[in-house]
Amino acid sequence: MIEWKLVNARTATPPEAPAAPAAPGAAPGAAPGAAPGAASGAASWGGICRFDRAWHASEARLTSGLSPAAFWLACADWALHLADSPAQRAELRHLAWVQAHRFGQAVLGGHVVDPAPGDRRFQSELWQQAPYHALYQGFLLTEAWWKAATGFGTGVSAHHQKMVAFAARQWLDMLAPTNFPWTNPDVLRATAETGGRNFLLGLKNYLDDWHDAISDVPAARGPYEVGRTLAVSPGKVVLRNALIELIQYAPTTATVAREPVLIVPAWIMKYYILDLSPHNSLIKFLVDRGHTVFAISWKNPGADLRDMGLDDYRRLGPMAALDAIGKICGGARVHGCGYCLGGTLLAMAAAAMGRDGDDRLASLTLLAAQTDFTEAGELQLFIGEGQVSFLEDVMDVRGTLDSRQMAGAFQMLRSNDLVWSRLIRSYMLGETENPSDLMTWNADGTRMPARMHGEYLRHLFLDDDLAEGRFDIDGAPVSLGDIRLPCFLVGTETDHIAPWRSVFKLHLLSPADMVFVLTSGGHNAGIVSEPGHTGRFYRMGRRRPGGAYVGPDAWREAHAPVAGSWWPEWAAWLTERSGERGAPPPMGARVAGLAPLCDAPGTYVREH
C-alpha cells in the first residue's frame, strides 16, 4: 500500500548516505536526479498523508477503532461470491422458508429453537409467555439464518468471512428484543412494579457512565481502591526508569528460597491483577510460601512516549529488572513469570538470552501468554493489513492507543454479556453495579505507545515473526528453540484473548522440559484462581526435554480434570527448583544505587 510506504518513510531513520549533486534546475532539498518541483511534490504528498491520518483518527472515534475500508472490503468479498453462487442462494431461500414455517409454529405456542449454550438473555419465565415467546423464538430463527448466510465460504477469504459473520452477530445482538423496553417483559414488569422509578435510576447510571467517559479518572463507586484495599502486599519500589517501577515484596517467612521470582505483567492493564484483594493475591500467595517476589509495574504512557518500541519494553522492563535483582539477591538466578503480553515479552527476552548464553533465568512461567499468533482467536478479526494500517494512522495522530479502544474491542467479542446485558441491567432495570475487585481492576486501563503497539500488531499478530524466527533483537533474529529452561505454561479453557491451544503451541517451538496446565475459567478469572475458589479445576501434564509432540486435543483427552486451584502445583514446581532456603535478601541495594524509593504499590500504578 502506498500509504503504508509513505508512513514508513516518514517514521524510519535510515543511515544517512553521502549527498549527491542535485540535478540542474532542481529545487533545494530535492532528491538527486529529481525533476524540478520534486521537493514540493514530496511535501505535498507528506501533507496528504498527514491529512489522511487525521481523517482516519476522526473515523476511529465513530467506529471504535475499526477500519471502515477493511470492513467494506470484507462485505464486498462475501457479497460478490454469494451473488455468483446461485445454488447457495437457492439453499438460503429454502432455509428462509423453513424458518418462516417454524416461526408460524412458535406463534401457535410451539417451542422450535433453543438459545445457544451460554446465551442467558431469555432465561426469565416471562419469555415463555405470549407474545414474548414467539418474539424471542423468531429472533433465534433469524440468528440461525444469518449464521448460515455468513458461513458461506466458497472462494471467500477466511478472514473476510469471519469479519462478516462477526458484524452480522453484532447487528443482531443490538436488535435483540431484550434491548428494547417495550419488547422486554422483564423491563415491563420492573416498570409496573416501581412506577417507572427503574428508568430514573437508569438515567442516573447513564449520567455516571457519561461522566466517566469524558473524564480521565473514573469515579470510584465501590469499596476497592489501589493501595488501600487493592495491591496492598507490603513492599518497596527499588527501581524506577522511564517505563517501569520494580517492586520488591517484603518477606513474611523467616527463611526464603534462594532464587527469587520476577513477575512481568501485561502493560495493557495494571499489574495488580496479580495482587488484588489479600485472599486472591498471587503475589501474597508466593510470598507466604517463602519466595522472594519482584513485580514490574508499567508506566501508563502518554504521547511523550510515542516512540517507545517493543525492544524498549524488553530492555527497560525484564532486562532492567534482572540487572537490579542480580544486585539485590547476590547474583542468584531468577524464575521469570510473564502474564499475557508480559509473557510474550519475557519469552522474547528468554530466547535472546538463550541465544547469547545469558543464564540469569532459572525457569520460565507463561500465564495465558502466546508465542505463536497464527491461531490467536477472535482478536484476529481486528488484525489485517488494512486494519493495522488504520490503527497505525490513529496512533500516529494521538501518540498512543487509548485503553478504551482496546476495551471496546474485547467487549465486542462478547457483546451479549459485556455490553447489552449490562446496559439492560443498568439503564432499563435501574440496577446499581457492585463492582468486584476484578471488575475494578478491569476498568483501570492503560494506554500503549504508538510505535510499540504498531510493532506488536505487525510483527507478532500479523506476520508471526517471533514464532517463525524473523524477529530481531540486538541486530540478530531470535528463535524460541533457544529456550531450554524448565517451562510452566498455563492456558485457560474459555480464553477469547489468548486461546489455550495457541498458548500450547510453545510445545512445537521449544524442546524444553515443559509442564502445561489447562485450567477452568477465562483469560483473567482462570489465572486469578486462588485455593478455595469453588468450582475450579485444572488438568496438568509434563513433556520431558525433547519429548514427542502431542496435539492439544489429544493432550486434553489424556489428562483428567483435578478439582481445585493450580496455584499450589506451580508453587511446588517453583520450590523444587529454587534452591536451599536462607535469610531474606535486603530490601533494595543501597550500595548499588537501588535504595528503596517508596512503598508499594508505587506511583506508576496510580497514573490515569
Residues taking part in catalysis: 340
Instruction: Return d(Cα 227, Cα 66) in angstroms, integer.
Output: 36
Q: Which residues of 220-252 are buried (b: 16+ CB within 10 A; e: fewer)?
A: eeeebebeeebbbbebbbbbbeebbbbbbbebe
Q: Which segments of 359-513 are extended strands (E)?
A: 361-367, 400-401, 448-449, 472-473, 476-477, 487-492
Q: Which amino acid is at 555?
A: W
Residues 6+ apart with CB under 8 A from 362: 259, 333, 334, 335, 485, 486, 577, 578
Of 394, 516, 503, 428, nearest to 176 by C-alpha is 428
- The number of beta carbons lying within 10 Å of the beta carbon of residue 42 is 17
CA 393 to chain centre: 21
CA distances (Å), 390 to each of 58, 60, 454, 594, in order? 11, 9, 10, 42
Residues 6+ apart with CB under 8 A from 131: none
Residues 6+ apart with CB under 8 A from 266: 339, 340, 341, 342, 343
Where on the phi/psi map is residue 225: left (φ > 0), alpha (ψ -120 to 50), or beta? beta
- For the chain, helix, strand, coil in percent to 5 are 50, 10, 40
The residue whose grid cell reads 527499588 is: 238
Q: Which amino acid is at 397?
A: V
| Residue 247, helix vs strand vs coil | strand
Instruction: Return d(Cα 225, Cα 205) in angstroms, integer.
Output: 20
Alpha helices in 483-608 (DSSP H): 500-504, 506-509, 552-558, 567-576
CA 58 to chain centre: 24
Of 454, 397, 443, 398, nearest to 418 by C-alpha is 443
DSSP 144-187: HHHHHHHT--TTS-HHHHHHHHHHHHHHHHHH-GGGSGGG-HHH
Q: In the structure grid, which three cell numbers stand for residue 79, read together?
A: 457479497
Instruction: Return d(Cα 588, Cα 73) in angstroms, integer.
Output: 55
